[in-house]
Amino acid sequence: MTAHKPTTSAELATETEVALERAVTSHRHHALFSMRASKIKQSAVRDVFDISLRPGLVSLAGGNPFLQSLPLEKIGGMAYKLVTEHGLTALQYGGGQGIEKLRVQICEVMAEEGITDADPDNVVVTVGSQSAQDVACKVFCNPGDTVLCENPTYVGALNTFEAYEVNVEAVPMDEHGLIPEELKRRIDEVRAAGSSIKFLYTIPNFNNPSGITLAAERREEVVRICREANILVIEDNPYGLLRFDGHPIPPLRAGHPSDVIYMGSFSKILAPGLRLGWALVPAHLQRRFYLASEAVTLCPPTLNQLLVSEYLEGHDWRGQITTYRDLYAERCAAMLAALEEFMPPEVSWTRPEGGFFIWVTLPEGVDTYPLLYQAIDAGVVFIPGAAFTPSDKPSNRLRLAFSAVAADRIREGVRRLAPVIADAIAAG
Amino acid sequence: MTAHKPTTSAELATETEVALERAVTSHRHHALFSMRASKIKQSAVRDVFDISLRPGLVSLAGGNPFLQSLPLEKIGGMAYKLVTEHGLTALQYGGGQGIEKLRVQICEVMAEEGITDADPDNVVVTVGSQSAQDVACKVFCNPGDTVLCENPTYVGALNTFEAYEVNVEAVPMDEHGLIPEELKRRIDEVRAAGSSIKFLYTIPNFNNPSGITLAAERREEVVRICREANILVIEDNPYGLLRFDGHPIPPLRAGHPSDVIYMGSFSKILAPGLRLGWALVPAHLQRRFYLASEAVTLCPPTLNQLLVSEYLEGHDWRGQITTYRDLYAERCAAMLAALEEFMPPEVSWTRPEGGFFIWVTLPEGVDTYPLLYQAIDAGVVFIPGAAFTPSDKPSNRLRLAFSAVAADRIREGVRRLAPVIADAIAAG
């Protein structure tokens, strides 16, 4: 990395993409690619995945949950019992919608946040909520359709949307989340331009990457605007139960069973390596959603479903969430304190009420993409802000994750990052 | 089921589809569905999934592997150890391409069949090979493109293809598999009609549902025809190692690393509930394939990958495959003997050299779809042949699976089925 340091996002993109594209475009099979294939790109998060593993480096890049607090002995025992005593079921094919008992339990998990009317028949278990996003695109999106999202939004969702050749339109947020007036204005603009809008994709709690939460008083209005425009709401809520203090704000889905497809995940409240998430789908959309999911994976992994079911039944999962909450609250506080201590005065950041991420804003005109390589030389990794928007423009923002790193390492990471940022500001 | 018995395939389709379609089409969200959504249908295999579980019924429908012979105690112990000693890895996110060690081991599995030059870098681990089929469509298929397949072919692949709005063209088989001349003719016809052909999807060993194997002497020719037409070959080979006698025939991929995407699965040689399969992709297509896979599921389940890796390392998996082979050979023999004993003389069937299925042919004009319900009343389930072709026409064929049922129950199932078929022939 030190040998050749590109200095702009454009150059960085060029470096890897061009070489790989050249190998492909010269082959006679190039003519066989679908139109969508060229739109599927490596995400910035994955770009730094391997780098993040270098010893000595402080990774504030990946949003990995901290699994050390899990009851591994107990979960291991459950896995043993499932395979030895129920292996003929646990290792066999299951139904495409997911195991019924788990779907009932998923309704209990959602009730913790305020969705009290969920019917297990309308729950579709998926291979992570990533897979649920893919299925939603499959069911609703034609090429050229528009999907609305927050600016910024989850990079994995952007990758999924791009694979369906949709037009992704980002709606501005402020410190209270998505701005309803901007949502309305964007809907009118897109429609005036002749594109069909299929859904709004939103992460209302502790948005990835911004950490911002959609204010309770805006939630009704967001759903109302979408309903009146006949646009579905896809509510992606993997972090909702990881609120540091106080009661959760009811999800958009809570009062609106017909207007919202709610997506949940066990990745943040239990373990991402099991790859289990779910969608709670309006009853009239359930069949199409479930069949599309089945066409992709046949069925979610049975052993994993039974293991999560056993965990929910046999362990104090609510207590485990409290443990996670306290841990992440402490780490978030450590990161906020370090930012306060080390960052130059021109830099600002969000103050999340939960989740995994803080969103850092540099002065206008400073591109955070080339800073990544200087940061790696300084011993710290982050994700440049450009990854989280559908536009190709440089971004003066970056995402820091506090979930996976101990408090003292978070402080060290921020301490290493600060002079890189200060130099960039001075140079700009 | 006994109360209302539809008598034609058309009526049967009507019964379930129309009621469900009505609920959806009257809703204002109907306008939001993608063009592909209406093409994704319930498969006949899934239709009978619940019915198959009724006590007393002999199910010759589902192609479930027989898991009783697995070393469950040992696999359970491996799962326990993975979670308790390596839980922080096993329960965490992994790379999108799959764990490297497992990809190396997958190359060893493929070597058993004659692919000796596979590079682990070109292996992409997927959520079953079903997911690999979905990714292949994502990377190669635009709506209106043509995909070629065998007639008959795997119903799950047909469902996946239909979700991509491709034109699926079935190429006739005889007792030696896909007929090269027919393949060539069909390619010419489709091209003359102006459609772009992306790949041939083939199950060369013990085809699901027909049990037919593509003869060794035809394999080179099939690849050559496709290469000359610049069409990829997708070789789906979940059953290849389950050949009852003799050495495996080298896969189409063996001599053709640039022309064939090879798909393998642990569902039949280990356990489908883990949902792990893979694609071995030509080097020049690897990146696009891997990125598209990542956009769907982020990464395959880590725990499951490590468990399969442990199993391959710590257990005599080749011996386990031999156990499976002998078991399925015995069951296949039992089914062939029962067909001989009970079926009317007008009925014929295939004699598979491996795999899970026998394909039964009734006289022309007898539709096997309505017979399904009479068979259920008689205490036996099968899958009607129409499920395995892209056409909507009635079929005089049906699939019987011998994999999941003990030999005496197989005999009983065929005994119950025979008079239903005899009556239908007499009535026709």
CB atoms within 10 A of CB A394: 17
Q: Cα angle at B347 between B344 and B348, to 5 degrees?
A: 135
Scan residues 213-232 of A and list those with Cβ closer than 8 Å to B: 230-232
Q: Rounded to an integer, what distance in angstroms lies between the CA atom of residue B214 and that of residue B171? A: 13
Q: Provide CB contacts within 8 A for A159, sequence distance 6+.
A: A40, A41, A43, B294, B295
Q: Provide CB contacts within 8 A for B243, sequence distance 6+.
A: B205, B206, B325, B353, B354
Q: Do A304 and B301 touch (CB under 8 A)?
A: yes
Work out the minimum CA distance from A345 to partner chain B, whole angstroms: 36
A298 close contact with B: CB closer than 8 A = yes
Scan residues 187-206 of A and list those with Cβ closer than 8 Å to B: 198-199
Residue A257 or residue B428, greater confidence: A257
A53 close contact with B: CB closer than 8 A = no
Q: Rounded to an integer, what distance in angstroms lies between the CA atom of residue B166 and that of residue B66? A: 34
Residue B256 in tokens: 């053709």
Q: What is the DSSP string of A358-381?
A: EEEEPPTT--HHHHHHHHHHHTEE
**b/e code A331-366 from CB counts within 10 Å (16+ = b):** bbebbbebbeebbeeebebbebbbbbbbbbbbeeeb
Residue A310 or residue B393, greater confidence: A310
B89 close contact with A: CB closer than 8 A = yes
Considering only CB atoms, which chain B residues are within 8 Å of A84?
72-73, 76
CA distances from A22 to A26, A27, A33 (A): 6, 9, 14
Scan residues 158-187 of A and list those with Cβ closer than 8 Å to B: 159-160, 162-163
Interface test with B, best of A35, A93, A134, A232 (most B CBs within 10 A): A93
Supply the angle between the helices A155-162 and B286-297 in degrees, to the nearest 10.
Answer: 120
User: Distance from first CA to last CA of chain A, Å, rounded?
Assistant: 23
Considering only CB atoms, which chain B residues are within 8 Å of A297?
127-128, 130-131, 134, 275, 297
Considering only CB atoms, which chain B residues are within 8 Å of A126?
none
Nearest to A142 among B28, B34, B40 (CB): B34
Q: Do A272 and B93 touch (CB under 8 A)?
A: yes
Q: Do B273 and A46 touch (CB under 8 A)?
A: no
* Helix H or strand E encompassing A354: none
CB atoms within 10 A of CB B189: 12
**pLDDT, position B38:** 80
**pLDDT, position A25:** 73
A362 neighbors A324 (Cβ within 8 angstroms): no
Beta partners for B359? B399
- Residue A2's pLDDT band (cuts 50, 70, 90): very low
Q: Do B83 and A79 touch (CB under 8 A)?
A: yes
- Residue A428's pLDDT band (cuts 50, 70, 90): confident
Q: Do B20 and A287 touch (CB under 8 A)?
A: yes
User: Distance from first CA to last CA of chain B, Å, rounded?
Assistant: 23
- Residue A44's pLDDT band (cuts 50, 70, 90): low
**Full strand arrangement of the beta sheet holding A357-361:** A348-349, A357-361, A397-401, A383-384
- If we measure between CA atoms, which residue out of B162, B143, B40, B32 comes closest to residue A145? B32
Residue A152, preceding peptide bond in cis (omega within 30° of 0): yes
Residue A280, SS3 per DSSP: strand
Scan residues 224-283 of A and list those with Cβ closer than 8 Å to B: 230-232, 267, 271-275, 282
Domains of chain B: 9-69+320-427 (3.90.1150.10), 94-314 (3.40.640.10)
State yes or no: pLDDT of A153 exceeds 70.
yes
Q: Rounded to an integer, what distance in angstroms lies between the CA atom of residue B381 and that of residue B405? A: 12
**pLDDT, position A13:** 46
Q: Do B296 and A131 touch (CB under 8 A)?
A: yes
Work out the minimum CA distance from A158 to partner chain B, whole angstroms: 9
Would strands B232-236 and B260-265 be described as parallel, antiparallel, or unpaired?
A: parallel
Regions of chain B short of the pLDDT cut 50: 1-14
Q: Do B298 and A140 touch (CB under 8 A)?
A: no
Considering only CB atoms, which chain A residues are within 8 Å of B200?
none
Q: Do B304 and A304 touch (CB under 8 A)?
A: yes
Rg (CA), chain A: 22
Beta partners for A299? none
Nearest to B127 among A32, A72, A127 (CB): A127
- If we measure between CA atoms, which residue out of A217, A219, A237 comes closest to residue A227? A219
**pLDDT, position B248:** 85
Nearest CA in chain B to A68: B88
- The whole-chain average pLDDT of chain A stands at 92
Beta strands in A162-242 (DSSP E): 167-174, 177-178, 197-202, 232-236
Q: Rounded to an integer, what distance in angstroms lies between the CA atom of residue B400 and that of residue B347? A: 13
Residue B152, preceding peptide bond in cis (omega within 30° of 0): yes
B129 neighbors B263 (Cβ within 8 angstroms): yes
A83 neighbors A291 (Cβ within 8 angstroms): no
A32 close contact with B: CB closer than 8 A = yes
Scan residues 318-357 of A and list those with Cβ closer than 8 Å to B: none
pLDDT (mean) for A377-385: 95
Q: Do A34 and B160 touch (CB under 8 A)?
A: no
Q: What is the pLDDT of residues A89-148, one digit of tens each?
A: 999 999 999 999 999 999 999 999 999 999 999 999 999 999 999 999 999 999 999 999
B299 close contact with A: CB closer than 8 A = yes
**pLDDT, position B27:** 87
Considering only CB atoms, which chain B residues are within 8 Å of A302?
272-273, 275
Nearest CA in chain A to B80: A76
pLDDT (mean) for A13-22: 55
A428 close contact with B: CB closer than 8 A = no
Interface test with B, best of A28, A32, A47 (most B CBs within 10 A): A32
A299 close contact with B: CB closer than 8 A = yes
Q: Do B41 and A81 touch (CB under 8 A)?
A: no
Residue A278 or residue A48, greater confidence: A278
Nearest CA in chain A to B97: A46
Nearest CA in chain B to A20: B287
Residue A82 or residue A51, greater confidence: A82
Considering only CB atoms, which chain A residues are within 8 Å of B68?
88
CA distances from A208 to A183, A236, A249, A352, B357 (A): 19, 10, 17, 11, 48
Q: Do B95 and A49 touch (CB under 8 A)?
A: yes
Nearest to B288 among A24, A84, A285 (CB): A24
Nearest CA in chain B to A71: B84
Considering only CB atoms, which chain A residues are within 8 Å of B273?
89-94, 301-303
Nearest to A87 among B70, B90, B297 (CB): B70
**pLDDT, position A7:** 46
Considering only CB atoms, which chain B residues are within 8 Å of A296?
130-131, 134, 160, 163, 296
Residue A230 in tokens: 């006949």
* Helix H or strand E encompassing B372: helix B368-378
A95 neighbors A299 (Cβ within 8 angstroms): yes
Q: Rounded to an integer, what distance in angstroms lies between the CA atom of residue A221 and that of residue A180? A: 7
**pLDDT, position B15:** 52
Nearest to B80 among A34, A70, A76 (CB): A76
Considering only CB atoms, which chain B residues are within 8 Å of A20?
287
The number of helix segments (H) and strand segments (E) in chain B equals 14, 14
Q: Could you tell me what percent of chain A has a pLDDT over 70?
A: 93
Nearest to A301 among B31, B274, B287 (CB): B274
pLDDT (mean) for A184-191: 97
Q: Cα angle at A165 between A159 and A167, to 5 degrees?
A: 90
Q: Do A292 and B163 touch (CB under 8 A)?
A: yes
Q: Do A294 and B29 touch (CB under 8 A)?
A: no
- If we measure between CA atoms, which residue out of B92, B187, B135, B398 comes closest to residue B291? B135
Considering only CB atoms, which chain B residues are within 8 Å of A271?
91-92
